[in-house]
Amino acid sequence: MTIDVTFDGRAASVTFGRRGSLNALDLDTVSGLADAFDGLARRNDIDVVVLAAGEPGFCSGGDLGFVAEHLDDLDSAVDRFLDRSDALVTALLTMPQVTISAVDGVAAGAGMSLAAAADLCVCSDRSTFVPAYARLGVPPDLGGSVTLPRRLGSGRATNLLLLRSRLDAPTALGWGLVDEVMPTDGFSEHLSASVSRILGLGSQELRATKRMVGENARGRTLDAALADERRQLKAAMSTPSYVRKIGEFIAGAH
């Protein structure tokens, strides 16, 4: 697992990666990301933070290998994971800087929810978004129950989570899941240009814009939403059907 934080003037980039897993989110990864974003949130000299992932893809979702390894103590293992993933989502949604998720490839399950938690989500034209939750019989995590309805509206969010197997980049743009689709060739350059345009505003103006938009958009508190996610996710993961599906998934991966 790697998490690299780099700086370019008033912008920071957080790039995570896990070789051989399509950057699946395990406990160490969500914990490291939470720490990185919490640290950046405290910096007054940084106004834009980009979340990206190492190739290939963006993120395949939660690490089901972690789940399979902890079937005997699943309840406490899920709590440990959600404690840190909740901290990550809270940092992303509440930090004063403008956040951008940069998706180049597949964003599935928790990876899709993570991308949606940023203020702005951009993707390459080869990207796909895969809900994945219904396949495993669980509700969304990583703030997806908050951020997906906020982006899509409740009807389309429900449609995406229950009925759709995937969205390609143009459809994701049309639905509002992403804010801009960029060419795969030169994706980094297009992303940098967007960051530069945002930084055309001063620090005070950027932070005030984010704060006012966020405060006006919020209904149910984030703490309440995350607590509800935790209850429903753990209830779903305690069922025999979930354990069976995990076994089938692991067997199919070998």
Measure the CA–CA gap between 127 and 125, rounded to whole angstroms: 6
**Assigned fold of 2-203:** 2-enoyl-CoA Hydratase; Chain A, domain 1 (3.90.226)
Based on the number of CB atoms within 10 Å of its own CB, is 16 exposed (0-12), middle (13-18) or buried (19 or more)? Answer: buried
pLDDT at site 210: 84
Measure the CA–CA gap between 86 and 230, rounded to whole angstroms: 9
For residue 157, pLDDT over 90 is answered with yes
Measure the CA–CA gap between 120 and 99, rounded to whole angstroms: 6
Structure tokens at 182: 């960029």
Could you tell me the CA-to-CA distances from 246 to 6, 57, 137, 197, 242 in Å, in that order?
36, 22, 10, 44, 6
pLDDT tens per residue across span 95-144: 999 999 999 999 999 999 999 999 999 999 999 999 999 988 999 999 99
Q: Higher model confidence: residue 65 or residue 197?
A: 197
- The arithmetic mean of pLDDT across residues 193-214, rounded, is 88
- The arithmetic mean of pLDDT across residues 166-180, rounded, is 98
Specify the pairing of strand 11-17 against strand 48-53.
Answer: parallel
The pTM of the full predicted model, rounded to 2 decimals, is 0.90
pLDDT band at 219 (very low <50, low <70, confident <90, very high): low
Mean of all residue pLDDT scores within the chain: 92
pLDDT band at 48 (very low <50, low <70, confident <90, very high): very high
Closest residue by Cα to residue 104 from 120, 121, 127, 122: 127
Measure the CA–CA gap between 125 and 187, rounded to whole angstroms: 9
Domain regions of the chain by residue span: 2-203
Give Dmax (Cα) for the chain: 53
- The arithmetic mean of pLDDT across residues 215-229, rounded, is 75
Asked whether the beta carbons of 36 and 4 are under 8 A apart, the reply is no
DSSP string over the chain: -EEEEEEETTEEEEEEE-TTTTS-B-HHHHHHHHHHHHHHHT-TT--EEEEEEPSS-SB--B-HHHHHHTGGGHHHHHHHHHHHHHHHHHHHHH-SSEEEEEE-SEEETHHHHHHHTSSEEEEETT-EEE--HHHHT----TTHHHHHHHHH-HHHHHHHHHH-S-EEHHHHHHHTS-SEEE-STTHHHHHHHHHHHHTTS-HHHHHHHHHHHHHHH--S-HHHHHHHHHHHHHHHHTSHHHHHHHHHHHHHT-
pLDDT at site 218: 65
Q: What's the one-letter identity of residue 33?
A: L
